[in-house]
Copies of this chain bind each other. A is one copy, B any other.
């Protein structure tokens, strides 16, 4: 405790067990302070593979690890299953459902949720993909649609059951469209009597002029070609103007409104800050951007409160670069690590230079054996990119057993096009 300027043990409260919060906690595991990590879920979720759960390729348990298990054995870290209701930055207190916690340093890393851009009633009609429950619901809808089509005698209604509209052509939309095409063309191919699953229509609608707008233009073009080769219809420059039960209305830039009958619509478009963004604004007056993300200082603290950090998807960090940092796992990991280092330096009465993100590239997968990768110094596409994508995703999975199992499941499903977890389960 000698390094602690006051005699009492320094208390760090971290809200959120995603990549940001978890990396901060792990980096503090040998520091003589008391860390409390709060999350409303008991597990860390590897979101980059959530689309695989939504399409039956992996089980929820494969891409999630109990936060407790990840941090087990570190007596200075306590994990609590709790939802934060409020923050009092003057009293340095966090209010939970049923208790209060005091902190010396607070780290807020609660991420983002879907943004329906004011059309919140679309949520039921076109669910988004952020949680395990979302993934199970999307899986249920996709698989049930083929079951219903098999029973449907009316050709028009059958077509509607076999039409899938994905709204939003970022990473999630592209990956989900590729997996859906694989299901229709490979996995289910020989399993039905009345329908030909390869006739399923998969429509990917993208408002922007190109897919994956954060990637270089040639990789966007490659993604489009790959998806079309898999049987996906890609419409860029096209905005959805209305979603009704079974009917989606959309409009390309200069065209008239078009309609398509589809029983299954999925939302893969925007995200907005989780509710802790609003809580922070209310209690600290901090500024937020259009998506509700919190504007942070160059050291990831917020205005007026040098002992409150905001990291990960919830933070808008735009110092020394054209655009704010993207909401991806590597940014959150590096921010979590930085904050832990800064806390350690401050305990010694020192500080650190401003946070600087090291971009190691970005990658997205398209179906079974194609991906696009931009590593800065090299751009890859196709099978080699897919291999690298697979390797990196398995590598960054937390928990060794998960890695082994996922590797085997992948190898198996790659060889056979099978998907092991195709369960239609009901939530009560």
Residues on A close to B: CB < 8 A?
A: 41-43, 56, 59-62, 64-66, 68-69, 72-73, 75, 78-82, 98-99, 132-133, 136-137, 143-144, 147-148, 150-151, 188, 190-194, 399, 401-402, 404-405, 408-409, 412-413, 416, 418, 420-428
Chain B, residue nearest A73 (CB): B190
Docked Cα-Cα span, A59 to B190, in Å, equals 26
Let me know if A147 and B401 touch, CB within 8 A.
no
Chain B residues closer than 8 Å to A59, beta-carbon distance: 59-62, 421
Docked Cα-Cα span, A66 to B59, in Å, equals 14
Let me know if A75 and B423 touch, CB within 8 A.
no
Docked Cα-Cα span, A423 to B424, in Å, equals 18
What's the least CB distance linking A331 to chain B, in Å?
26
What's the least CB distance linking A174 to chain B, in Å?
24
Docked Cα-Cα span, A78 to B193, in Å, equals 6
Chain B, residue nearest A406 (CB): B405
Q: Which of B78, B404, B422, B428 contacts A427 (CB 8 A)?
A: B428
Docked Cα-Cα span, A136 to B423, in Å, equals 13
Let me know if A421 and B68 touch, CB within 8 A.
no
Docked Cα-Cα span, A416 to B404, in Å, equals 14
Let me know if A416 and B401 touch, CB within 8 A.
yes
What's the least CB distance linking A186 to chain B, in Å?
12
Interface of A is mostly: mixed
Chain B, residue nearest A415 (CB): B401
Let me know if B420 and A405 touch, CB within 8 A.
yes
Chain B residues closer than 8 Å to A151, beta-carbon distance: 80-82, 98-99
Let me know if B404 and A191 touch, CB within 8 A.
no
Chain B, residue nearest A131 (CB): B425
Let me know if B409 and A401 touch, CB within 8 A.
yes
Docked Cα-Cα span, A425 to B135, in Å, equals 12
Let me know if B420 and A133 touch, CB within 8 A.
no
What's the least CB distance linking A157 to chain B, in Å?
12
Chain B residues closer than 8 Å to A194, beta-carbon distance: 78
What's the least CB distance linking A136 to chain B, in Å?
8
Let me know if B423 and A60 touch, CB within 8 A.
yes
What's the least CB distance linking A21 to chain B, in Å?
17
Docked Cα-Cα span, A404 to B408, in Å, equals 8
Q: A190-B73, A193-B75, A418-B69 are in contact. Are A60 and B425 (CB under 8 A)?
A: yes
What's the least CB distance linking A59 to chain B, in Å?
4
What's the least CB distance linking A196 to chain B, in Å?
13
Q: Which of B80, B132, B404 contacts A423 (CB 8 A)?
A: B132
Chain B residues closer than 8 Å to A72, beta-carbon distance: 190-191
Chain B residues closer than 8 Å to A137, beta-carbon distance: 428
Chain B, residue nearest A152 (CB): B98
Chain B residues closer than 8 Å to A60, beta-carbon distance: 59, 421, 423, 425
Docked Cα-Cα span, A75 to B192, in Å, equals 9
Q: Which of B66, B408, B424 contacts A42 (CB 8 A)?
A: B424
What's the least CB distance linking A82 to chain B, in Å?
7
What's the least CB distance linking A101 to chain B, in Å?
11
